[in-house]
């Protein structure tokens, strides 16, 4: 508590509706509007936006921004490595792995004996496609709460992948289409499929190619990947194709023989969401910490104060209070869950930017009507799904 004598946390990082701001250091972290200097935790579009003056981030995050927005996405850029510290007007900022996606970082900001860690999005479970989450002791921990409700306990991802591979064995004549967010989730799903011993080529929707190639070029082994666009329908029986979730219900999916549709997302834990997504094989795989992971991480940081962002803030804030921790929700407008922006809901979502290069060939009603009478369903495992007791605030992108 010694830091209280020297500096209040709010004097070091001021929460604003467009992100946390360090006035002394002259920067924002993951700002949702253009600013002079931005420190970016990772490449997802709600955290990494175009139009800032100067951007400080890991090489991978900068590359992902370049892939998405083009060369001139910022006035200038500066690369920082994990464990490296920069000093900005006397304030130090150090980047540490967040275990969320390739290049994702927590940013530890320190000044006059007060250390605040802005963790961005994170998960505390192993992921073959990125560096593991590193625990950074701090006075104030800024945590996400995308899955900040006790119902969210993510199952073993290997068991979810086993369901997919079982279905492929069960229905060798059918194509398997797996909806997964383009940045991070798709590559993790592919890596998990490889880890399970699947050696066949895996096919990619056009929107998946640049980032998957990028992961490969950075040493993440995804095995043999092929563009699906060159394939004949008849040759796609028994194959696995990764696509943006939105493509599952587009005319695009008609090129596949009697497809089994799967969707890899933490939201598949919620029975209503799994049903709403209209997929036959919900796979509960998330790149965010679940309720147990959030709580364990909060305790392990040793922080006496917790700031909670995007998601189910209230439950986690309440839980912190019961532990004697000072906690507050941050009302930052514009953070979402990356899966959320891509949810194949009949109501649609505002996001899905550039997710589907091959979108727009047919009307929504056409595509959704084909799901009214789905083909013979595989044994849909719903055991890992639960009902959500009530709607949390903020995260319902389609609302």
CB of 100 to Zn ion, least distance (A): 6
Partners of 225 in the β-ladder: 202
Taking the C-alpha atoms of residue 349 and residue 129, their distance in angstroms, rounded to an integer, is 27
User: With respect to Zn ion, which residue has the nearer C-beta, 3 or 147?
Assistant: 147
Helix H or strand E segment including 275: helix 271-276
Which residues are near Zn ion by CB under 5 A?
44, 121
Taking the C-alpha atoms of residue 12 and residue 23, their distance in angstroms, rounded to an integer, is 7
User: With respect to Zn ion, which residue has the nearer C-beta, 37 or 123?
Assistant: 123
CB of 85 to Zn ion, least distance (A): 24
User: With respect to Zn ion, which residue has the nearer C-beta, 94 or 309?
Assistant: 309
**Whole-number Cα distances in Å, 273 to 242, 270, 335:** 20, 5, 20
CB of 46 to Zn ion, least distance (A): 5
User: With respect to Zn ion, which residue has the nearer C-beta, 184 or 259?
Assistant: 184
- Count CB-CB contacts under 10 A for residue 8: 10
CB of 332 to Zn ion, least distance (A): 10
Taking the C-alpha atoms of residue 14 and residue 253, their distance in angstroms, rounded to an integer, is 46
User: With respect to Zn ion, which residue has the nearer C-beta, 110 or 339?
Assistant: 339
User: With respect to Zn ion, which residue has the nearer C-beta, 121 or 139?
Assistant: 121
CB of 122 to Zn ion, least distance (A): 9
Q: Which residues contact 389 (CB under 8 A, 6 or more apart)?
A: 149, 151
CB of 373 to Zn ion, least distance (A): 36
One-character DSSP codes across 352-376: -TTT-TT--SS-HHHHHHTTTSPPS
């Amino acid at each position: 508590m010694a830091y209280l004598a020297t500096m209040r946390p709010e004097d070091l990082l001021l929460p604003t509706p467009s992100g946390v701001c360090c006035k002394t250091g002259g920067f924002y972290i993951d700002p949702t509007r253009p600013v002079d200097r931005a420190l970016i935790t990772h490449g997802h579009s709600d955290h990494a936006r175009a139009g800032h003056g100067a951007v400080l981030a890991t090489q991978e995050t900068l590359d992902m921004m370049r892939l998405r927005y083009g060369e001139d996405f910022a006035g200038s850029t500066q690369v920082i490595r994990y464990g490296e510290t920069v000093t900005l007007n006397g304030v130090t900022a150090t980047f540490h792995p967040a275990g969320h996606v390739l290049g994702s970082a927590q940013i530890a900001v320190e000044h006059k004996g007060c250390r605040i860690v802005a963790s961005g999005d994170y998960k505390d479970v192993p992921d073959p496609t990125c560096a593991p989450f590193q625990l950074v002791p701090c006075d104030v921990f800024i945590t996400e709460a995308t899955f900040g409700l006790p119902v969210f306990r993510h199952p073993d991802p290997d068991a979810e992948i086993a369901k997919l591979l079982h279905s492929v064995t069960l229905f060798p004549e059918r194509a398997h289409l797996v909806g997964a967010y383009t940045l991070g989730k798709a590559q993790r799903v592919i890596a998990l499929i490889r880890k399970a011993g699947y050696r066949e080529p895996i096919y990619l929707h056009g929107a998946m190619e640049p980032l998957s190639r990028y992961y490969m070029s950075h040493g993440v082994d995804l095995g043999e990947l092929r563009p699906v666009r060159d394939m004949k329908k008849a040759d796609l029986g028994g194959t696995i194709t990764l696509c943006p979730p939105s493509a599952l219900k587009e005319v695009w999916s008609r090129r596949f023989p009697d497809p089994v549709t799967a969707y890899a997302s933490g939201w598949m834990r919620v029975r209503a969401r799994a049903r709403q997504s209209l997929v036959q094989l919900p796979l509960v795989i998330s790149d965010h910490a679940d309720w147990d992971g959030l709580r364990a991480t909060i305790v392990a940081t040793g922080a006496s104060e917790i700031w909670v962002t995007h998601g189910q803030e209230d439950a986690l804030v309440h839980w912190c209070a019961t532990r004697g921790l000072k906690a507050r929700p941050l009302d930052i407008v514009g953070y979402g869950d990356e899966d959320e922006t891509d949810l194949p809901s009949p109501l649609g979502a505002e996001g899905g930017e550039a997710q589907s290069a091959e979108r727009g060939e047919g009307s929504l009603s056409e595509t959704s009507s084909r799901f009214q009478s789905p083909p013979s369903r595989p044994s849909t495992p719903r055991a890992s799904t639960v009902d959500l007791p009530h709607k949390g605030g903020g995260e319902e992108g389609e609302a």
